[in-house]
Chain A
Amino acid sequence: MKSIFQIFFLLILGVQFSGCNQEPTLQKYFVNHQNDENYVMVDLPAGMFLSFNDELANADQEAIESIKKVSVLAYPLNGSNTANYESEVAVLNKILSREKYKLLMKIGNTTKGMRIAYLGEEKAIDEVVFFGNDSDKGFIVARVLGEKMNVGELMKLVGNLENGDIKLNFKQFESTLKKLDEIES
């Protein structure tokens, strides 16, 4: 009796694992499309735009260092690539509907909308994903990748940012910003 249980259990486990491997992930989606001319991909390592004072409190330092990079993949519609738009949006929606993505909020419908989700634990977030789509303009996926990011600590940091204790270093990626502006317009 017990062995039957065990075999059954292992079988289920096996099926689940093999199922997982075949499912597309956001990471794979990014990799598969980074050289596609219909897509625009921007990778920003956190060190590129976050430079800070040495006097910074340890907690703030940790909060800043918990952000590793920001990765953006956009699919601007240019008139000739509308055919794949809907199917790609469906693929991304399917990936983001998986249980491990904890949905924070979503607004809109399938033709125009956005959603925000995260991976990890409440106090230790590994990734925040923003997905926005508009059937007139295209879609954009932005991932904030990090390690044990804590929203409370990060918000405190934003507060300090406003007080001028920390300065964002935008100079180094002005060109990237311009690029993003071009995509938007």
Chain B
Amino acid sequence: MKTKIVFLLAFCLYPILNWGQANFTKYESMKEVSAMVITQNMFKLLSEIDLDTQDQETQAYIDLIENLKDIKVLTTNNVEIGTDMNTDFNTYVESSQVEELMRFKEKSMQVKFYSKPGSKEGFVSELLMLMTGQEEGEPITVVMSIQGDIDLKQVSKLANDLKVPGAKQLKNIK
């Protein structure tokens, strides 16, 4: 009986605990939003593949990928949706334990990075980015979230490979 109650409780609480993550999912199915999602399933499969190399740098990169959980990048040129995304982002930042990592302005873009403390120094468990501004005369809003055991030194390389804006600046975080 006791175990049943525990199961029931876990079942009921599950969506609530997941809430922090889920508040961006509604944007994924919007016509005006372009999404890129790579899930934990993918990283689990990747870690199945034997990718060991002699090259230390490549190995560090592989290690980063194998410890990732989830990558999500949402881009929109729609002003209204962009504002909504902005609000949701700020609510999330306020409600969870994230720290500002850095912020900068480049050309007509404003970029903010936030992170959640990770397993050890130089590592974060979540990396968030919000970018707003104009790109080629069009309004643009980009939200990025990366979860996992993230080595900050390696993540800029990954961001670069995924063509995420702000990748260059990420390199400067130590």
Contacts and interface: CB of A to CB of B under 8 A. Distances in A.
B35 A109 contact: yes
A105 B38 contact: yes
A104 B50 contact: no
Contacts of A110: 29-31
B41 A106 contact: no
A86 B85 CA distance: 26
B87 interface: no
B interface, over-half SS: mixed
Contact of B34 (A109, A122, A156): A109
Nearest to A122: B44
A46 interface: no
A150 interface: yes
Given A110-B29, A152-B50, A102 B35 contact: no
B42 interface: yes
B108 interface: no
Nearest to A125: B45
Nearest to B48: A152
B34 A108 contact: yes
A42 interface: no
B75 to A, nearest CB: 9
Contacts of B50: 152, 155-156
A122 B48 contact: yes
A105 B33 CA distance: 16
B48 A103 contact: no
Interface residues of A, number: 19
Nearest to A128: B45
A104 B50 CA distance: 18
Nearest to A156: B50
A118 interface: yes
A106 B35 contact: yes
A169 interface: no
Contacts of B41: 102-104, 118, 122
Contacts of A105: 36-39, 42
Interface in B11-62: 28-39, 41-42, 44-45, 48-50
5 contacts: A102-B41, A104-B38, A109-B35, A111-B31, A150-B48
Given A102-B39, A106-B37, 12 more contacts: A102-B41, A103-B41, A104-B41, A104-B42, A104-B45, A105-B37, A105-B42, A107-B37, A108-B35, A109-B34, A122-B48, A152-B48
A-B pairs with lowest CB-CB distance, top 10: A152-B48, A104-B42, A105-B38, A102-B41, A155-B49, A107-B36, A151-B48, A109-B34, A110-B31, A151-B45
